[in-house]
Amino acid sequence: MSEYEATGSLNLPTESMKIMAESVGVAGLSDSAAKELADEINFRLKTVIQDATKFMHHGKRKRLSTMDIDHALKIKNIEPLYGFSNPDHIPFRFASGGGRELHFLEDKELDIADIIGGSLPKLPLDVSLRAHWLSIDGIQPAVPENPPSLSKDQQRLESSDPVSKLAKIGDKTQKKSTTLTATNKPKTETVQVKQLTAHELSVEQQLYYKEITEACVGSDEARRAEAFQSLASDPGLHQMLPRLCTFIAEGVRVNVVQNNLAPLIYLMRMVKALLSNQTLYLEKYLHELVPAVTSCMVSKQLCLRPEVDNHWALRDFSSRLIAQICKNYHTTTNNCQTRVTRLFCRALANDKMPLASFYGALVGLSELGTEVIKAFIIPKIRAIGERIEPFLDGTGQANADRIAASHIKQLTIKVMVPILKVTRQPPDNVDDYRQEFGYLGPALHGAVNRARSQTTTTTASSGVISSAAAGSLGLSAGRGTIVVGGASGSATTSRNQSSAVANAASNPTKYMFVTSRPSTPVQATAPQTTQVVKLVSGAGQANKQTVMTTNQPKYVMVNSSQIVRDVGNKAPIKMEGTEGTPEVKMESSVVIKTENITILDD
Amino acid sequence: MEYSMNQLPQAINSDAKTQSSENQNSEVASDNSAGQTLDSENVDSNTLAAVLQFLQKHNLKGTAEALKKEARLKEDQLRDAQALQVDSEATNLLSSYKSEGDPNAYEKAYLSYRRFVESSLDVYKHELSLVLYPLFVHMYLEMIYNNHEAEASKFMERFSIDQEDYYQEDLKKVSFITKKEHMKGSDLMENFKSSQFTVRMSRDTYSVLKRFLQDKNQSIVMNVIQEHLYVDMYEGVPRNKAQVESTAGAMEGEANRQVNKTKIYYGLLKEPDIQLSVVEEEEDGEPGEGGEKPKKKKPKKDPLLNKKAKSDPNAPPASRLPLPDLRDIDKLEKVRALREASKRVALGPDSLPSICFYTMLNCAETVTCVEFCEDSSLLAAGFSDSILKVWSLVPQKLRAMKPAEQLADIDKEAEDVLVRMMDDKTGETMKVLYGHCGPVYSASFSHDRTLLLSSSEDATIRLWSLQTWTCLVVYKGHIYPVWDVRFSPHGYYFSSVGHDRTARLWATDHHQPLRIFAGHYSDVDVVQFHPNSNYVATGSSDRSVRLWDCVSGNCVRLMTGHKGTVSALCFSTDGRFLASGGADQKVLLWDLAHGHLLADLPGHTMTISSLAFSRDGTVFATASLDGSIQLWDFFRMTDESSLEDVNISGHNPDLLKRSNVIESLRLARYPTKATPVMSLHFTRRNLLLAAGMFEG
């Protein structure tokens, strides 16, 4: 038995005896004496440890502590080794020299003055008692105190191997049916199938579903935040998952047709919340989620006024969702990432594709990782350039197409720069770029050059970004940035948000909410067009001057050429559009309809 | 330090041993006496030497000389005797291991016996294989004793794998012994040398074994079987594998059938007649709702009382164990309990209890025990840092009594004198009791909620008052850590168990234990009072459960079958059944009438920490440190096992082993997130309370 062998091998060797003898001043211990000692000490040690485990078991612990050893020594009438209690693991130090190897405990010298003079350690929290229902009339309620009723591993098993679930149900039914005659067998099988499809929702769950779906697409921003929070953290949702996924899929279908941007954004945020729920395994519902999310990326038209509304943000956000789905749920059987990649590639290859869809496919591919970009986008840059050239240069084109084309240009540059910076060796030559990338060559060249020169000067402000991101969902688009603030935003966060917006552009960060930008400030790349749409909430007393009431969600739109550096400041917000009146919309807890997310066009 | 230095462990062990031999274990006694007669000559000179020593010590030279002359003892002989006396104890007991044999013969002998078991008929195989483990251990010890260390370790390495899984832990301990000198003082060794390993087999099996031993001239095997084994023979069909395995595993082998023959009174005591006071109290105590309540209550209560009033043939006579008289406050309490009981939810497979879980936060790895009081209003928790905390689980705060000078002012005749006694200013939801100087391993409330017992590593038991919130008595009797203490359901008596392998019965007004129950071969880890207070059950690390009679002090039931330390015990509501849970993750159910194993409930994945029967005796709850609670249909469990089939052959009836039956008995399983469950308790209305410390 391996266990026995393990204990058999756990003996102190005679060399240890000699070293220990040396350490207490006995030099030259003879071999036989060391052997005798080793045997005896091994036996004593083992019996002490064996007794110590008794104390461990009675202490209801799974880990032996130094106190247990002390108690074991005490019952053997041996003076305990005081001063060895330590809540943490004490690492052995290793030293070698003179052909000998030693493991020892480091005995640091402590300055008593430091201990006396130092601040007192924080008091541990007091023991407290908390009651919850583990079961109500035999049913375990799905509250956060209870474990999820179906663990993620089990969900995974069931989705990858549906037979396992079938077997379990079959077991139950067969047990009952064995008492019946064998001819009943086909009948029992049909019963099994019915059991599989039946999804019973309790009254509470139905109520929850109603509340959640209403809150998610409803008008109350605070409730919406709560609903998303619940979707992202509640442990007992897996039973409702089919309903929620159908809700999302249906919702996207309807709203894409009707071009309602806001509901689509909310639905995507629902997907985001479900994705971030640790207890859910969405693989079984990808057939509904993936088409829905992809629709929000590549649909020809997502809003009523494509030239005004910022549907780009939605496309970007959805593309990140699809990337996350691929990352989390790609398996060799569903081939999720492969299929998604193929879909986007086909879209890029299609010349008749509207520019908006073209953008969606491009951003989708770009989110799937550097390898995908290298394999599928780089070879196509020339084609992309040719595709958008007429819209950007030509004067007689529709405004919408021009915007789309410039978005595509921005995106390509943004995606390509970090890669080109690494793959291509300086010096960069404009002609080389032009030759390789066609129309986009010079722009890329400029961006890469700037990136190279600025890598050293730009400073990261990821901390600020994270604070902005934690409380809010940011949708970033090629030219504008939308920051949707949570209801709990305070004056300070809003200040952070504004500076975050300023810095976001210069920081290729990994945060999910803020896209990595080309490492140039926004002003530098597109000084005349970049705009920031900012939705701040509860911005505090500073804003009283400008019509807003405090503690209500507000939506501020600013032309970001003059980024508002300090919303929380006493100074009135300066808003200067290049043309027209600066538009400030303030609505306290109202529906964000599409017109609220408009962008000032210049 | 609590352990006095001159009280050596040997003294206790020998004390325990004599106690046990007196009590029940006749083999032990005979074993000891056999050892003594063997060296009668030595004993003689030993006694003389002792007398001489005494004389010399007290400077009685003349007498000493005379004695020497008379006994014609030579000086060297005396010295010999003195030397002998020093380790005579160990030598006597171990000398049976002395043999001149060739160490390699053991291996051959063991192999040949194993081959014999393997080649024997299937009917006999399983019973014969029971001999393998004791044979192996005794052979190993014999080799060690005769200084064949290298061969012994080889023997251990080669054959220890063969032994059953549940013996591996013991084998590990045996394998620590690699020197003759180690044999002294090892607790396991003491068991092997002092007691006989009981092997139960049918007459047929035994004759097969005997034939083998005679035919093959297996002197080594024969020697071990004769010296160290007790073969408990029975008439009838040899048992099958499942039957053998279900009761095997204890340190001393299986239970001797003879041990479980005594009749025990497992019935409940007759409830004192308090019906009159019920009505009175209701009218007096609750004037607000008194108007209609008595009318409603009466018809409900009557059957409850009548049922109990019927005298149970299995109940002990009321005078068997003197119990304290009921005080007024006890009667009040009983009335309250009855009133609550009438609101009880009837449980069953279709109406499962609700479970309220108390999670202790911010205390990972420091809580050592949790205990609910009988009426579910208090919760006590013991901590490894020697403190004891008591929480109130009801809105009512925990209050202390007023100081003496204020108490004097209270009108003693007042109706609400008990309320007036308490000081409202001291009201808290949680109180801390300081006093122990080692981890508190168990706590137990008295039924009237005024007293709390706690046991600790510091070898003491403390009695706390929950009115003054101070320690009243420190009971010092155990000299090693006290693992468990429990109040009798009728108060006054309590029982404790500890590392010193004894269980003790105490009364709150005595400093000394009333009874010492000795007989377990290892630590006694858990104790539980029978609902009629006449018996206590103990569970031990020797993997057996024993039932002791509080009146006679005898062990009346010995139940083997656990494969690990017994960690939880609980009597059924009607007193007939005992449930035990162990570190082997099993929950076993015993019929006390015959000491039979009824069911083996699997499903937990860690040590069982607590067991509870619902108040109506229909649902059985088990909790484990794996953080789950399981509910079982106890009504069907007892219904299906053939209780009336008083078996003649003397061994266990077939277990409810078939897995689908057991599975169907399991009503539910509730996991927690990361909280090992430490305690279970059914309230009077059949709500299940559970508690544990959060580890996540």
In this predicted model, what pLDDT tens digit does every residue of B587-644 receive, in sequence order?
A: 998 988 888 888 888 889 999 999 999 998 899 999 999 999 999 988 888 777 655 5
User: Of the residues A105, A129, A161, which one is the last residue of a structural domain?
Assistant: A105
Q: Is A71's CB within 8 Å of B629's CB?
A: no
More confident residue, B674 or A89: B674
- A524 and A437, same structural domain? no
Answer yes or no: are the C-beta atoms of B559 and B542 closer than 8 Å. no
| Section B227-246 average pLDDT | 80
User: Of the residues B217, B238, B259, which one is the last residue of a structural domain?
Assistant: B238
- A420 and A502, same structural domain? no
Q: Is A57's CB within 8 Å of B607's CB?
A: yes
3-state secondary structure of A292: helix
The domain total for chain B is 3
Q: How far apart are CA A37 and CA A21, in angstroms?
A: 10
| Section A359-388 average pLDDT | 84
Residue B166 lies in a domain: yes
- B111 and B81, same structural domain? no
Closest CA to A265 of A329, A309, A308: A309
Q: Which residues in chain B are closer than 8 Å to A63, comparing Cβ atoms?
A: 365
Mutate to test the interface with A, among B457, B525, B605 (most CBs of A within 10 A): B457
| Proportion of chain B above pLDDT 90, given as a percent | 27
- B581 and B606, same structural domain? yes
Answer yes or no: are the C-beta atoms of A363 and A319 closer than 8 Å. yes
The per-residue pLDDT for range A277-293, each reduced to its tens digit, is 888 888 888 888 888 99
- B33 and B139, same structural domain? no
Q: Is B354's CB within 8 Å of A63's CB?
A: no
- A72 and A17, same structural domain? yes
Q: Is A60's CB within 8 Å of B354's CB?
A: no
Residue A168 lies in a domain: no
Answer yes or no: are the C-beta atoms of B91 and B80 closer than 8 Å. no
| Chain B: closest CA distance from residue A79 (Å) | 10
Closest CA to A420 of A389, A388, A457, A452: A452
The per-residue pLDDT for range A488-532, each reduced to its tens digit, is 333 333 344 444 343 434 444 333 333 334 443 433 333 343 333
Q: How far apart are CA A445 and CA A451, in angstroms?
A: 10
| Proportion of chain A above pLDDT 90, given as a percent | 3
Residue A130 lies in a domain: no
Q: Is A43's CB within 8 Å of B438's CB?
A: no
Q: Is B305 exposed, middle or buried (0-12, 13-18, 19+ CB in 10 A)?
A: middle
Task: Give the model's confidence band at A329: pLDDT under 50 very low, under 70 low, under 90 confident, else very high.
Answer: confident
Residue A152 lies in a domain: no
Among chain B residues, the shortest Cα distance to A175 is held by B660
Q: Which residues in chain A are closer than 8 Å to B3, comparing Cβ atoms?
A: 74-75, 77
What is the model's pLDDT at position A534? 40
- B130 and B25, same structural domain? no
- A477 and A362, same structural domain? no
The per-residue pLDDT for range A206-227, each reduced to its tens digit, is 888 888 888 888 888 889 988 9
Angle at B551 (CA atoms; ends B548, B556), nearest 5 degrees: 30
Q: Which residues in chain B are closer than 8 Å to A77, comparing Cβ atoms?
A: 3, 5, 9
Is the predicted pLDDT of residue B14 greater than 90, yes or no?
Answer: no
More confident residue, A504 or B670: B670
Residue A399 lies in domain: 231-454
User: Of the residues A429, A454, A479, which one is the last residue of a structural domain?
Assistant: A454
Residue B216 lies in a domain: yes
Count CB neighbours of A152 within 10 A.
14
Residue B667 lies in a domain: yes
What is the model's pLDDT at position A594? 35
- A468 and A450, same structural domain? no
User: Of the residues A105, A121, A152, which one is the last residue of a structural domain?
Assistant: A105
Q: How far apart are CA B314 and CA B394, in angstroms?
A: 38
CATH number at residue A44: 1.10.20.10
The per-residue pLDDT for range B387-402, each reduced to its tens digit, is 999 999 999 888 888 8
Is the predicted pLDDT of residue B305 greater than 60, yes or no?
Answer: no
The per-residue pLDDT for range A414-464, each reduced to its tens digit, is 888 888 888 877 777 788 888 888 888 888 888 888 888 876 554 444 333
Residue A212 lies in a domain: no
Task: Give the model's confidence band at B646: pLDDT under 50 very low, under 70 low, under 90 confident, else very high.
Answer: very low
- B437 and B372, same structural domain? yes
Q: How far apart are CA B339 and CA B623, in angstroms?
A: 29
Residue A226 lies in a domain: no
Residue B209 lies in a domain: yes
Q: Is B629's CB within 8 Å of A134's CB?
A: yes
Residue B33 lies in a domain: yes
Q: Which residues in chain B are closer than 8 Å to A175, comparing Cβ atoms?
A: 660
What is the model's pLDDT at position A356? 84
- A395 and A271, same structural domain? yes
- A448 and A310, same structural domain? yes
- B504 and B367, same structural domain? yes
- B666 and B549, same structural domain? yes
User: Of the residues B188, B220, B238, which one is the last residue of a structural domain?
Assistant: B238
Structure tokens at B129: 């294989």
Q: How far apart are CA A409 and CA A565, in angstroms?
A: 28
Q: Which residues in chain B are closer than 8 Å to A75, comparing Cβ atoms?
A: 3, 480-481, 499
- A99 and A235, same structural domain? no
CB-nearest to A58 from B177, B181, B441 is: B441
Q: How far apart are CA B430 and CA A546, in angstroms?
A: 53
CB-nearest to A75 from B365, B481, B625 is: B481
In sequence order, the β-bridge partners of residue B559 are B545
Q: Which residues in chain B are closer than 8 Å to A147, comparing Cβ atoms?
A: 671-673
Chain A with chain B: Cβ pairs closer than 8 A: 155
The per-residue pLDDT for range A549-572, each reduced to its tens digit, is 334 333 333 333 333 343 334 444
Residue A21 lies in a domain: yes
The domain total for chain A is 3
User: Of the residues B45, B62, B86, which one is the last residue of a structural domain?
Assistant: B86
The most distant pair of C-alpha atoms in chain B lies apart, rounded to whole Å, by 96
What is B584-638 written as a DSSP string? TS-EEEEETTTTEEEEEE---SS-EEEEEE-TTSSEEEEEETTSEEEEEEHHHHH
Q: Is B157's CB within 8 Å of A124's CB?
A: no
- B134 and B223, same structural domain? yes
Residue B369 lies in a domain: yes
The per-residue pLDDT for range A25-74, each reduced to its tens digit, is 888 888 888 888 888 888 888 889 888 999 999 998 888 888 899 999 99
Q: Is B457's CB within 8 Å of A63's CB?
A: no
- B75 and B28, same structural domain? yes
Among chain A residues, the shortest Cα distance to B540 is held by A54
- B208 and B64, same structural domain? no
| Chain B: closest CA distance from residue A125 (Å) | 6
- B59 and B153, same structural domain? no
Count CB neighbours of B606 within 10 A.
15
Residue A551 lies in a domain: yes
Among chain A residues, the shortest Cα distance to B171 is held by A4
- A544 and A437, same structural domain? no
Residue A146 lies in a domain: no
Q: Which residues in chain A are closer than 8 Å to B567, comparing Cβ atoms?
A: 57
Residue B346 lies in a domain: no
CATH number at residue B467: 2.130.10.10
Q: In what order do the strands lie in the sheet with B628-633?
A: B608-613, B619-624, B628-633, B666-671
- B654 and B554, same structural domain? yes
Residue B431 lies in a domain: yes
- A414 and A394, same structural domain? yes
| Section B270-293 average pLDDT | 49
Q: How far apart are CA B223 and CA B135, in angstroms?
A: 10
- A562 and A439, same structural domain? no
- A244 and A361, same structural domain? yes
Residue B31 lies in domain: 20-86
CATH number at residue B133: 1.25.40.500
Q: How far apart are CA B334 and CA B609, in angstroms?
A: 29
